[in-house]
Amino acid sequence: MSLSEEDIAFDKKHLWHPYTNLSHPSPVFGVESASGVYLHLSNGQKVIDGMASWWSAIHGYNHPELNAAVSAQVEKMSHVMFGSLTHQPAIQLAKNLVNITAEPLDCVFIADSGSVSVEVALKMALQYWHAKGATDKNRFLTIRNGYHGDTFGAMSVCDPVNGMHSMFTGVLPQHLFVSAPTCVKDQDWQESDITEFREAIQSKHSQIAAVILEPLVQGAGGMRVYCPEYLRQVRRLCDEYNVLLILDEIATGFGRTGTLFAYEQAQIVPDILCIGKAITGGYLSLAATITTRLVADSIGGSDNGNLMHGPTFMANPLACAVANKSIEVLLSSDWQEKVRKIEGQLISELQPAELLDSVNSVRVKGAIGVIELEQAVDMGSVQSRLIELGVWIRPFGRLVYIMPPYIIQPDELTQLTSAMLTIAKESLSFK
């Protein structure tokens, strides 16, 4: 059924969209269908999706193998509770995740969203130390400009100033924040990059349960890129001061930065890993928190050895089935070469933006391209302009960025980068 003007009017009056004001709603654009890298809008226009539906639709839309996986599973069961029951899609997914992550990571909690996977990771860390009798280790250390989700535990480790959650500061647990690294590449590394972090973990390690970071690329907190050496230094200091390391790869996992997981580029392994977004190829909400046998056995060996979390839709069979197929499709493809080519094209085609007075910086990492403007854009005006240019890009603040599906073709990617450059050139008129 097509969207009518009445539908859009109802939406505007009654439906909240992410981070919007229902009293003064931003424009929305109806989508009728999607295929490949294209969204087909209600007005008959088709636009190239540069966002991969918030970084999840890595194979594009309406993928025949993923469609078939969903259809086959829905004929068996769409959902069954995971309490005291199990099923093949969940077991297979756990096998797949253990196989594709680093060897010590072999205990899997299948959650229902990225934010929940972070909540579970924080609980794992707290229960680990509680089991060891170190109940004073109940705080988390992280870097500024981070973003880990919108639920309360996740919000508490997001940047308290620019992490979209400043109004909740008074009710969130108070954790420890240090400056984000400025080294973009290992060649830029200076010992001063780790000084503030080292001082914090040295002085507060008796209170710190875990460090939590987004490896190499900070997502919604600023789309910042930093060097692998910082991760190596953090891992070493966590080991030295007996602190767990949580890596949030919800945005970076499944190839986005050029390796299957970003931590591989630093040649380290976290104690707890959060993944989500692209895990189902953008079909259904799913995430996972994966930890080591050491952490799991420490929790399990305590007086109350139960990990205290259990979402209703935990390990949903439909989502697990499509996740298994998405992983199979990814690993059987030449995704590394695709990401490498996307990265090269982004570097080449976004470089001219560095010459514009309206641009602060340009950043590229894997299949991620960012133009940071000097001034924030007006979302409504810019969004409409981007639609005119035949693309779907959703800027925020001063950032105009893309994280396209890996299947995007060079001419389609050029249309995205050209639109980004157009917005950068016109940005002063959108203030």
* Of residues 282, 149, 276, the one with CA closest to residue 221: 149
Q: Tokens 């570097």 appear where? A: 347
- Between strands 272-275 and 287-292, the pairing is antiparallel
The C-alpha atoms of residue 417 and residue 255 are separated, in whole angstroms, by 21
Pairing relationship of beta strands 244-248 and 208-213 according to DSSP bridges = parallel
Nearest to 251 by CA among 140, 92, 118, 397: 118
CA–CA separation, 253 and 110 (whole Å): 15
Cα separation, 328 vs 91, in Å, equals: 15
Given 147, 263, 401, 406, which residue is catalytic?
Answer: 147
Q: How many residues are given for the chain?
A: 431
Whether residue 248 lies in the annotated active site: yes
263 carries an active-site annotation: no
Positive/negative CA dihedral, 163, 166, 169, 174: positive
Angle at 51 between CA 47 and CA 55, to 5 degrees: 145
Q: Which of 277, 283, 325, 401 is flagged as catalytic?
A: 277
**Of 423, 362, 372, 365, whose CA–CA distance to 393 is shortest?**
423
Tokens of 102: 């680093």
Per the CB < 8 A criterion, the answer to whether 147 and 167 are in contact is no
Q: What burial class does residue 337 get, using C-beta atoms within 10 Å of its C-beta: 0-12 exposed, 13-18 middle, 19+ buried?
A: exposed
Q: Which residue has the tokens 């503030």?
A: 196
The tokens describing 229, both together, are 């050496």
The catalytically annotated residue of 49, 150, 248, 271 is 248
CA distance 58 to 103: 25
Cα(274)–Cα(258) distance, rounded to whole angstroms? Answer: 18
Annotation says 431 is catalytic: no
- Direct distance between the N- and C-terminal alpha carbons of the chain, in angstroms, rounded to an integer: 37
Catalytic, 46? Answer no
Candidate list 19, 186, 239, 431, residue with the active-site label:
19
The phi, psi pair for 209, rounded to 5°, reads: -80, -40
User: For residues 84, 90, 95 and 101, what is the CA-based torsion angle, rounded to 10 degrees?
Assistant: -110
Instruction: Show which residues are catalytic.
Output: 19, 147, 248, 277
